[in-house]
A and B are shown apart, each in its own frame.
Chain A
């Protein structure tokens, strides 16, 4: 079975997941992002790469934050950006996902940036476009259920590469709600492809998926063990609804066991960086002293995110 995000020439035609992305493709995206980063620092922050193209942000699940980053990225590439908040319109009238897509294709969309609550929804759209023979319309997954958030995964890789240069000897600790995290899955696949030496999954059993060892991870239930001598700490956001007693007794107990405090961070290497996909819950998964401290690279992640999303859209439009 061919990876559905690559075309017959092995080029990226959709970005659906970091899983199965060849190392060269990832490096090409990161290198391209590096050149776009300079654009963002200029007075005139635009390049004409997507001039005349229509990028549709189709969000079946609310996220002003992510949508805005895609919007900025597309506008810096000179694309026309149309934002659709589908949670409030079509689906409420009973229109199916693929009906919505057909309608937008008829409006000459060149690219869909899709967020959906169901894992696999962007795959379904990409498969539908393939059956329609529309190889010229591209899909960017902006987060589907618990499955993937590939641009976040790639911007995380950009950040790590920026601060650590080489992946080969890196120990990366991912802490928190991995079970429900599309960011964690995207990070794990990308880190594996880029050859990170060790990836650790840290959290209570209620927040870790089964069979993690099959994904090449080392599972730690103890935060101290997991953080020891690591180079990169990726903290995950704990959604409010996970703290109601079904998976965790309370936010307070979670912070006590898995919150990243300066004392805990001291177990990592002295030059370890701390990342977070945002938005943070201060005092739940991360202490403010760490979040605002010298090892945190959380705001640079946001800056790099724009450049990475520009790179992804630029590359897709060229393939």
Chain B
């Protein structure tokens, strides 16, 4: 039970879900947003927070965070303003047992930092051979099912998995990449890979997998989410499906929104991603998809230690630390694309919340007081020391970014304060 009465004063409230974009006071009672503008009757604040010059938005919602060390990564999450996150099932061991899911949920609740929403394994051991106990896993706390980065090769089994999930109305998330076309690939099959002699992953690896997933989703009526789009052609397929009325959703990683194959430079292993960074024309199409609301933004947080990155490009582990850069890089995109903050912030708050089907990403009266309070203009340099995550691996090391979280509230409790 949280008895705290909080008064957030003078903040610039931006709540994309409810179209709120104004300087108003916000009042929190018992962990929930009790009033905006005028205090509730008889309200006497136990703590006043002066937020002059700061923006308060719903706590960020991340569609995919690899936790690794759960304590440090959840601390990194709230330091980045992230209050809800989905954890993919490729943990060790994978999330295919209700007991493992319950333990993860309990552990994260004990820590009391960001809220963790496990994504269960679609198949046992993520092996793509036998269906996982989706119903039991849901009762244990899973909010959807995926194969993480292990595609189901057997299309009949994929069909069965979708049919079974659709029976109960569960959401299926897939990373669209045909494993044969992507075999041994480490970079976009294009100019840079050709020049550097890196094995390429063609765009068709993505489009073939998207086309397969869309066909099977149409047949089964499953709620499908496609994660980590990388190509213009992939975006086009999903746009067409949406126009045809399919309820498919998708996301783009914050890195793919900013970078292209050119950022590999001279074999920079921090620019090794799965799916790979593609051509600048692909990146431009991803930006349009996110601007239009076709895709949400995701941190795709993947901490990798130095040993996993200080290797020749093809041997280095893919992925980047993203939790603490989600907000500044979203702000950077908004600035570059000249988009209003209320639109940009939707892509990391209410949009992913709707995709996950969780109650988050809103400042509506009565909703849980999950809030990110940030200074949009405070600039900071991305250094290993500045990141709380164990993953210091990011292609943005050395960059100066704008936008720093000053305070994060989860259920009305201050879980981070700079």
Given known A-B contacts A96-B311, A124-B311, A214-B191, A119 and B266 have beta carbons under 8 A apart = no
Q: Which of A19-50 contact B (CB under 8 A)?
A: 19
Question: B313, A120: Cβ atoms under 8 Å?
Answer: yes
Complex alpha-carbon distance, A264 and B310, angstroms: 47
Question: A96, B307: Cβ atoms under 8 Å?
Answer: yes
Question: A119, B313: Cβ atoms under 8 Å?
Answer: yes
Nearest B-chain residue to A188, judged by Cβ? B195
Contacts of A210 in B (CB 8 A): 189-191, 193-194, 200, 202
Most buried by A among B189, B190, B315: B315
Question: B194, A118: Cβ atoms under 8 Å?
Answer: no
Please tell me if A215 contacts chain B, counting CB pairs below 8 Å: yes
Please tell me if A200 contacts chain B, counting CB pairs below 8 Å: no
Please tell me if B285 contacts chain A, counting CB pairs below 8 Å: no
Please tell me if A237 contacts chain B, counting CB pairs below 8 Å: no
Nearest CB of B to A125, in Å: 9
Question: B312, A124: Cβ atoms under 8 Å?
Answer: yes
Count of chain A residues with a beta carbon within 8 Å of a chain B beta carbon: 28
Contacts of B189 in A (CB 8 A): 210
Most buried by A among B265, B267, B310: B267
Question: B267, A124: Cβ atoms under 8 Å?
Answer: yes
Question: A97, B311: Cβ atoms under 8 Å?
Answer: yes
Please tell me if B42 contacts chain A, counting CB pairs below 8 Å: no
Complex alpha-carbon distance, A116 and B315, angstroms: 12
Given known A-B contacts A96-B307, A96-B311, A185 and B197 have beta carbons under 8 A apart = yes
Given known A-B contacts A96-B310, A120-B313, A148 and B194 have beta carbons under 8 A apart = no
Given known A-B contacts A124-B310, A210-B189, A214-B191, A118 and B265 have beta carbons under 8 A apart = no
Query: B191-226 CB contact bits vs A (8 Å, 1 = yes)?
Result: 101111111101000000000000000000000000
Query: B341-363 CB contact bits vs A (8 Å, 1 = yes)?
Result: 00000000000000000000000
Contacts of B267 in A (CB 8 A): 119-120, 123-124
Given known A-B contacts A98-B310, A118-B313, A147 and B196 have beta carbons under 8 A apart = yes
Most buried by A among B191, B195, B199, B311: B195
Q: Which of A92-116 contact B (CB under 8 A)?
A: 96-98, 116
Complex alpha-carbon distance, A265 and B198, angstroms: 32
Please tell me if B314 contacts chain A, counting CB pairs below 8 Å: yes
Complex alpha-carbon distance, A209 and B200, angstroms: 9
Contacts of A121 in B (CB 8 A): 312
Question: B195, A215: Cβ atoms under 8 Å?
Answer: yes
Question: A211, B313: Cβ atoms under 8 Å?
Answer: no
Nearest CB of A to B311, in Å: 7
Contacts of B314 in A (CB 8 A): 118-120, 145
Contacts of B311 in A (CB 8 A): 96-97, 118, 124
When the two chains form the complex, which single residue of A1, A4, A97, A148 contacts B312, counting CB atoms closer than 8 Å?
Answer: A97
Please tell me if A182 contacts chain B, counting CB pairs below 8 Å: yes
Contacts of B266 in A (CB 8 A): 1, 4, 120, 123, 127
Contacts of B315 in A (CB 8 A): 118
Question: B312, A19: Cβ atoms under 8 Å?
Answer: no
Contacts of B307 in A (CB 8 A): 96
Question: A19, B195: Cβ atoms under 8 Å?
Answer: yes
Contacts of A116 in B (CB 8 A): 312
Question: B194, A211: Cβ atoms under 8 Å?
Answer: yes
Nearest CB of A to B18, in Å: 45
When the two chains form the complex, which single residue of B191, B195, B202, B313 contacts A185, counting CB atoms closer than 8 Å?
Answer: B195
Question: B195, A145: Cβ atoms under 8 Å?
Answer: no
Nearest CB of B to A166, in Å: 26
Query: B259-275 CB contact bits vs A (8 Å, 1 = yes)?
Result: 00000011100000000
Contacts of A215 in B (CB 8 A): 191, 194-195
Contacts of B313 in A (CB 8 A): 118-120
Complex alpha-carbon distance, A211 and B198, angstroms: 13
Most buried by A among B195, B197, B199: B197
Please tell me if A221 contacts chain B, counting CB pairs below 8 Å: no
Q: Which of A204-253 contact B (CB under 8 A)?
A: 209-212, 214-215
Complex alpha-carbon distance, A62 and B200, angstroms: 25
Nearest B-chain residue to A211, judged by Cβ? B191
Complex alpha-carbon distance, A4 and B194, angstroms: 19
Complex alpha-carbon distance, A116 and B194, angstroms: 18
Query: A125-155 CB contact bits vs B (8 Å, 1 = yes)?
Result: 0011000000000000000111110000000
Complex alpha-carbon distance, A127 and B190, angstroms: 25
Question: B197, A147: Cβ atoms under 8 Å?
Answer: yes
Contacts of A124 in B (CB 8 A): 267, 310-312
Complex alpha-carbon distance, A124 and B272, angstroms: 14
Nearest CB of B to A224, in Å: 25
Complex alpha-carbon distance, A215 and B193, angstroms: 12
Nearest B-chain residue to A181, judged by Cβ? B197
Complex alpha-carbon distance, A148 and B266, angstroms: 12
Question: A148, B197: Cβ atoms under 8 Å?
Answer: yes
Query: A1-16 CB contact bits vs B (8 Å, 1 = yes)?
Result: 1001000000000000
Given known A-B contacts A116-B312, A119-B313, A212 and B196 have beta carbons under 8 A apart = no
Contacts of A146 in B (CB 8 A): 197-199
Query: B302-316 CB contact bits vs A (8 Å, 1 = yes)?
Result: 000001001111110
Query: A145-182 CB contact bits vs B (8 Å, 1 = yes)?
Result: 11110000000000000000000000000000000001
Complex alpha-carbon distance, A182 and B194, angstroms: 11
Which residues from chain A sit less than 8 Å from chain B, CB to CB?
1, 4, 19, 96-98, 116, 118-121, 123-124, 127-128, 144-148, 182, 185, 209-212, 214-215
28 A-B pairs whose Cβ atoms sit less than 8 Å apart in the complex: A4-B266, A96-B310, A97-B312, A116-B312, A118-B315, A119-B197, A119-B267, A119-B313, A119-B314, A120-B196, A121-B312, A123-B266, A124-B312, A127-B266, A145-B197, A145-B198, A146-B197, A147-B197, A147-B198, A148-B197, A185-B195, A210-B191, A210-B193, A210-B200, A210-B202, A212-B194, A214-B194, A215-B194
Please give me the 4 A-B residue pairs with the lowest Cβ-Cβ distance, nearest first. A120-B267, A146-B197, A118-B312, A147-B197
